[in-house]
Structure 1
Amino acid sequence: MSISPTDRVANDRPAAPASRRPAGVRPARWAPSMILVAILIAVWESYVRLADVSPRVLPAPSRVVVQGWANREVIAGHAASTLQVTLLGFALALAVSWIIATCVDFSPWLRRAVVPLLVISQTLPIVALAPLMIIWFGFGILPKLLVVALVTFFPMTVGLVEGFASADRDSDRLLRSMGASRRQQFRYVRLPSAIPRFFTSLRIGITYAVVGAVFAEYVGASSGLGIYMSQQKNAFRTDLVLAAVVVTALCSVVLFLSTYLVQRIVAPWAAEDER
């Protein structure tokens, strides 16, 4: 039985051992950071207690935890709203990124036309655009989704474009010499080459997405961690503001780590390359 050239190229990639864990989710890699955080929290707690700082100015970490837990149901409701905006906006940016990067890869002329515009788009201040989104699209979920998408689509698009461009030229020429179509070259060579850079940019984008969602809620929203922090700030509840900040950070960390699990499922060979 004969084996097609495209199948041979696809099967040449070594399979990753199932027992190895991606570098990003190894507990040992996080241990120094966790120790440093624990030290900083201990110093913070000691300073507040010894200096007798007002909770309105700087609450102790223990107070932040106690008050955050006491208001956990309210905070959880706002966190769910923020996560909804984050995931929907990120999904929109992800879809747009794939479409733009794929079209750019198939058209050199489009690459020269679009890539400079992508760079220019990052010079536009989101601080100025977010209020305009509210004016143009109202106070619903759409303007918040657009803000998140604007914040996150650039790193993912650039990561894909550069990943496609980094494909092995010898493999491309080999497939062309064997009669492979442009679509087959993309599927078996250029797409696998882009996966590692894509997941790197995905991790950058997902952390930006949470920040973008919170900022969009500051501009105009009825629920979400952003509007919750704004309300508590106006009430001089610094402890609850910091509790919401902690929840926001935890959401970012969970989403960041989830990208490693997705990579492990979708492209385990790319996860092994990051070891």
Structure 2
Amino acid sequence: MSETSVAAPPIAAADRSGIRVPSFVYPIAGLVVTVFVWWLATSVLGLAHPVVLPPPEDVLRGFNANRSFILEGTLTTGLETLFGFVISSFVGFLMGIVLASSAVLERMFSPLLVAVNAVPKIAFGPMLVIWLGWGQPSIQFMIFIMCFFPVVLSTVTGLTRTPGDLAEMARALDASRLKMFLKVRLPAAMPQLLVGLKLALPLASVGAIIGEFQAGDAERPGLGSIIVQTLGQGESATAFAAFVLIAATTILLYSALLGLERLLLPWVRATTDR
């Protein structure tokens, strides 16, 4: 009897005897543990002053006292994040295609993109108000510069790492350049592109909040503007409620992106061990 046949049955038995836990249980458990530690540290042990870190019950009261105001801000920030993410991803994808299509262009402009990405984005804040004024133009530009580089980099990396056997097969079949791109290079690059999008989406939320800090619209404030206003008024519990909703909005959008990944790339999960 071979070593393979001896080793196989225990693995199969372990799989059959294992308890299958629904995937949604784990993030819920993580949330419960986090809130419990937060409550224990603030309400029971008193390790932080309520102004610095309000207890969960104070944050809940702050949310209930300003519910409509905060929910409107959540909708504003969520739409800003989604719109800016889509626009920056589309432009970044097109730029990645251009750079991947020419080694000369990639060598010319990649160092410039790296240099721009290295500049702290918050340094653009005061300049954006001068360039674009208050409100959505400045906020959307901040989201754009936060998301653009990861999408460009992932697109270039994916399109220039096409498996050699697939490329050779397409050439042997006399595929045109367009068909080579649509049928071979783009599908092979999709996993890498989705990695860039998953990196860019949380950055879109960060860009929206930074943009609202610097150039928020007072008539239609987002969560970033609400944080600035409430902290200035000493209402730290309401500000922390806005923090929580920023995190919740980002998790919701990220989960939607993961769902899109499973829809577009069902074969990835089937060919990996996770």
Correspondences of 1:48-63 after superposition (within 5 Å): 51=46, 55-63=50-58
Q: Tell me how far 1:76 sits from its aligned partner.
A: 0.7
Which residue identity is paired with 2:24? P
Larger mean CA deviation between 65-74 and 220-229 belongs to: 65-74
Q: Corresponding residue for 1:137?
A: 132
User: Equivalents in 2 of 1:135, 1:229: separation in Å?
Assistant: 23
Q: Corresponding residue for 1:224?
A: 222
| Correspondent of 1:122 among 114, 117, 126 | 117
Correspondences of 1:159-174 after superposition (within 5 Å): 159-174=154-169
Establish whether residue 250 from structure 1 lines up as the match of residue 248 from structure 2: yes
Establish whether residue 107 from structure 1 lines up as the match of residue 105 from structure 2: no
User: Equivalents in 2 of 1:150, 1:272: separation in Å?
Assistant: 35
Establish whether residue 190 from structure 1 lines up as the match of residue 188 from structure 2: no
Q: TM-score, normalised on structure 1?
A: 0.84
Which residue identity is paired with 1:56? V
Establish whether residue 41 from structure 1 lines up as the match of residue 38 from structure 2: yes
> Is the Cα contact below 8 Å between 1:207 and 1:252 reproduced in 2?
yes
User: Equivalents in 2 of 1:31, 1:140: separation in Å?
Assistant: 36
Q: TM-score, normalised on structure 2?
A: 0.84
> Is the Cα contact below 8 Å between 1:195 and 1:270 reproduced in 2?
no
Q: Tell me how far 1:271 sits from its aligned partner.
A: 4.5
Larger mean CA deviation between 158-167 and 51-60 belongs to: 51-60
User: Equivalents in 1 of 2:271, 2:122: separation in Å?
Assistant: 38
- Say what the alpha-carbon RMSD is for the aligned residues: 2.0
Q: Corresponding residue for 2:12?
A: none
Which residue identity is paired with 2:88? A
Q: Tell me how far 1:66 sits from its aligned partner.
A: 2.1
Structure 1 unpaired stretches of 5+: 1-24
> Is the Cα contact below 8 Å between 1:89 and 1:149 reproduced in 2?
yes
User: Equivalents in 1 of 2:209, 2:58: separation in Å?
Assistant: 23
Larger mean CA deviation between 234-243 and 166-175 belongs to: 166-175
User: Equivalents in 1 of 2:57, 2:125: separation in Å?
Assistant: 35
Q: Corresponding residue for 1:259?
A: 257
Q: Tell me how far 1:53 sits from its aligned partner.
A: 6.7
User: Equivalents in 2 of 1:71, 1:31: separation in Å?
Assistant: 26
Per-residue displacement from partner, 1:148-188 (whole Å, max 9, x unpaired)? 01001111111111111221112112211221112211111
| Correspondent of 2:171 among 164, 173, 176 | 176
Per-residue displacement from partner, 1:208-235 (whole Å, max 9, x unpaired)? 1011101100001121111100000110
> Is the Cα contact below 8 Å between 2:41 and 2:48 reproduced in 1?
no
Establish whether residue 88 from structure 1 lines up as the match of residue 86 from structure 2: no
Q: Corresponding residue for 2:23?
A: 26
> Is the Cα contact below 8 Å between 1:263 and 1:271 reproduced in 2?
no
User: Equivalents in 2 of 1:140, 1:65: separation in Å?
Assistant: 29
Larger mean CA deviation between 142-151 and 79-88 belongs to: 79-88
> Is the Cα contact below 8 Å between 1:156 and 1:202 reproduced in 2?
yes
Q: Corresponding residue for 2:3?
A: none
> Is the Cα contact below 8 Å between 2:42 and 2:48 reproduced in 1?
no
Q: Which has the higher contact order (CA 8 A, sep 6+)?
A: 1
> Is the Cα contact below 8 Å between 1:155 and 1:202 reproduced in 2?
yes
Structure 2 unpaired stretches of 5+: 1-21
Q: Corresponding residue for 1:72?
A: 67
User: Equivalents in 2 of 1:97, 1:103: separation in Å?
Assistant: 10
Q: Corresponding residue for 1:5?
A: none
> Is the Cα contact below 8 Å between 2:147 and 2:201 reproduced in 1?
yes
